[in-house]
Structure 1
Amino acid sequence: MSPPSAAGPRHGLARVLSKLGVCSRSQAERAVRAGRVWVDGRPVHDPERPTDARRSRICLDGVPVAAAAPVYLALNKPRGLVTSAADERGRATVYDLLPDDLPWLGPVGRLDKASEGLLLFSNDTAWAAALTDPDRHLEKTYHVQVDAIPDAALLARLREGAVEGGERLAACSVRLLRQGSRHAWLEIVLDEGRNRHIRRLLAAHGLGVLRLVRVAIGPLALGALGKGQWRPLQAEEVTALARAAGLR
C-alpha cells in the first residue's frame, strides 16, 4: 500500500475533471450522470464521488484523462454576444469567435451581452478562480459612454458610490475622459464585480449607459486587439495577472 503522503487531495469526480482542464464542472456532472466516465475500470454515476486524480485511472468516453496543457487567451468581445458556451435561447455566444480545435476553455469572469472589451479564457481553473475571487480585489478598468455631461459634483457623487437593491455599489476611481455636446466618456475602475455593477451605479445617479468597454484586467490592457479577435497570452502576461491576483 502506498504511504499516505503519496495520495493527492480527494475531490468530487466532476470537480476533478474540471480541475484537470478537461471540461467545465457542469459538463463533467452531465458526463458522469450519463455513464461516460469510468474510474479504475468501473462506471461512476455520482459526480460527487470522492476521487484522487493522482491515484485513480479516469476515462471519459473510453479515453484516459490526463491534465490538459494550460491555455490562456484574451478576446475582444463585441456587444451582442453572450458569455456562455451554449445559450438556451439560441443566441450567439463568445465561443462562436474561437476556433473549434482549441481544448475546452472557460471564461474568466463575464461581460454581459451589451458590454464589450477584454475577456479572458483558460482551462487553468486555479488561475481563473484567483482572478475572479472577489476577496483578491483584482482591478478592472472600463471606458463607459454615458448619455449626459457629468459635472464635478456628479463625478464626486459617483466616486462616493450608491446603495441599490440592498447592495453597496462602489468604484475605486471615476474620471472624465472626454466629452462632446451631449455625451461623455468616463473611466471607471472596479475591484469587485457585482451583477451589472457599473450600469446600476450610474443609473442610481441618473446616468444611462450607451457603451461599456472593459479595457484592462489588472496589468493586462486590451491594447490594439481588434473587435472579435483573440490572441494567446504571453507567459509573462499570465504571470503578471497571477501576481496581481495574489498568486505565488
Structure 2
Amino acid sequence: MQNGAPKPSSQAPTSRSGITRHGLARVLSKLGFCSRTKAYDLIADGRVAVDGEVQTDAEFAVDMSRAEIRVDGVAIAAQKRIYMMLNKPRGIVTSAADEKGRDTVYSLLQDGGLPWIAPVGRLDRASEGLLLLSNDSVWAARITDPLTHLAKTYHVQIDSVPDEMLLEKMRAGVHDDSDLLRVTSVSVLRVGEKNAWLEITLDEGKNRHIRRLLAALEIGVLRLLRVAIGELPLGDLAKGKWRTLDSHEVALLAVATVE
C-alpha cells in the first residue's frame, strides 16, 4: 500500500436495504483479480471504473454482487478460485518482487498459465518446504489469522546434539525483544555426531520464530523445512514443484481454521 493511502476499514458498511458493501480495493482482492496493494495502485492511477465512473477512492463502497467494475476498460468478474501448494526451495524469496533482484516464488509458476495468485503466509529465504498459494483472500486470511492457532510442522536440522533440557527450554519459551517464543511440541527425529534433526510444531507464527528461538538458546539452524500445515502434509512433492489442492484438502484447512 502506498504511503498516505487510506487505511482499510475493519468492517464492511451495510446500507439501509441490508446490502453489504466493501471498499473498492478490497472488492478487487475478494474477486481474485489482484492483491489489495496492487488494487490501491490501480485505483490511484485512475484505471478502475465502477458502473461507468472512474473511482480514485480505494474505500469507495461497492456492492460487489451488482456493480460493474472495469480495469483499463475490461469488465472484471470473479476469478476461478485457485488453491495450490508449492515445495519452496531454499534461496527463493516469498514475494511478488524483490528489490535485490533475487528469484521469487513466482519464478517457479511462470509456465503454469495461472491467474493472479498470492502466497498464504511466508517462508523466509533460507527456509524450505510447504507454502500455500491462492487467489481466495478470505480462505487465506483464515489460515494466516493467529487466532485460529492452525498448527504448522517443521523438520529442523540444528548444529548440536540436543538433550532433554534444551527441549524443555524450547517448550517453555524464551523472551526475544517483546516476543515470547516457544514451541507447541518438539521431538528428536535423528541424531548424528555433531548435529540432529528435530520435529517442531507451532500453533503461532511470529517472524522467524524458530530461528530466533534457537538463536536465543545459542543453537544454529542448518536447515529448516515446513512439512505440514494443519493436517495437510507436503508429502512427496518435488522441490520447486507445485500442485493444486483437491476439494477435500481445501475443506480440510477451512474446517481447521474454524474458531
TM-score (norm 1): 0.96
Following the alignment from structure 1 to structure 2, what is the Cα–Cα distance between the partners of residues 35 and 113?
Answer: 35
Residue of structure 2 equivalent to 1:126: 138
Following the alignment from structure 1 to structure 2, what is the Cα–Cα distance between the partners of residues 237 and 162?
Answer: 34
Residue of structure 2 equivalent to 1:70: 81
Matched, 1:4 2:21: no
Q: Given residue 160 of structure 2, which amino acid in structure 1 is its aligned partner?
A: A
Matched, 1:88 2:99: yes
Q: CA deviation at 1:100?
A: 5.2
SS at match of 1:231: strand
Matched, 1:239 2:220: no
Following the alignment from structure 1 to structure 2, what is the Cα–Cα distance between the partners of residues 65 and 190?
Answer: 39
Q: CA deviation at 1:158?
A: 1.3
Following the alignment from structure 1 to structure 2, what is the Cα–Cα distance between the partners of residues 14 and 152?
Answer: 50
1:67-115 Cα distance to aligned partner (Å, 9 max, x none): 1111000000001011011112211100100135201111110000000
Following the alignment from structure 1 to structure 2, what is the Cα–Cα distance between the partners of residues 119 and 242?
Answer: 16
Residue of structure 1 equivalent to 2:46: 35
Matched, 1:207 2:215: no
CA RMSD of aligned residues (A): 1.3
Residue of structure 2 equivalent to 1:18: 29
Q: Which residue of 172, 175, 190 corresponds with 2:202?
A: 190
1:119-148 Cα distance to aligned partner (Å, 9 max, x none): 000011111000000000000000000000
Q: CA deviation at 1:225?
A: 0.2
Q: Given residue 164 of structure 1, which amino acid in structure 2 is its aligned partner?
A: D
Matched, 1:138 2:150: yes
Q: Which residue of 178, 187, 190 corresponds with 2:190?
A: 178
Following the alignment from structure 1 to structure 2, what is the Cα–Cα distance between the partners of residues 49 and 70?
Answer: 25
Q: CA deviation at 1:34?
A: 1.0
Stretches of structure 1 that go unaligned for 5 or more consecutive residues are none
| Deviates most, 52-61 or 67-76 | 52-61
Following the alignment from structure 1 to structure 2, what is the Cα–Cα distance between the partners of residues 195 and 204?
Answer: 14
Following the alignment from structure 1 to structure 2, what is the Cα–Cα distance between the partners of residues 100 and 38?
Answer: 30
Query: Runs of at least 4 residues of structure 1 off by over 4 A?
Result: none
Following the alignment from structure 1 to structure 2, what is the Cα–Cα distance between the partners of residues 79 and 190?
Answer: 20
Q: Given residue 67 of structure 1, which amino acid in structure 2 is its aligned partner?
A: A
Residue of structure 1 equivalent to 2:128: 116
- Report the CA distance shift for 1:152/1:3 in structure 2 as closer, same or farther (over 3 A): closer
SS at match of 1:4: coil
Q: CA deviation at 1:243?
A: 0.6
- Report the CA distance shift for 1:155/1:192 in structure 2 as closer, same or farther (over 3 A): same
1:42-74 Cα distance to aligned partner (Å, 9 max, x none): 111111212111121110111111111110000
Following the alignment from structure 1 to structure 2, what is the Cα–Cα distance between the partners of residues 14 and 128?
Answer: 17
Following the alignment from structure 1 to structure 2, what is the Cα–Cα distance between the partners of residues 74 and 150?
Answer: 32
Over the matched positions of the two proteins, sequence identity in percent amounts to 59
TM-score (norm 2): 0.92
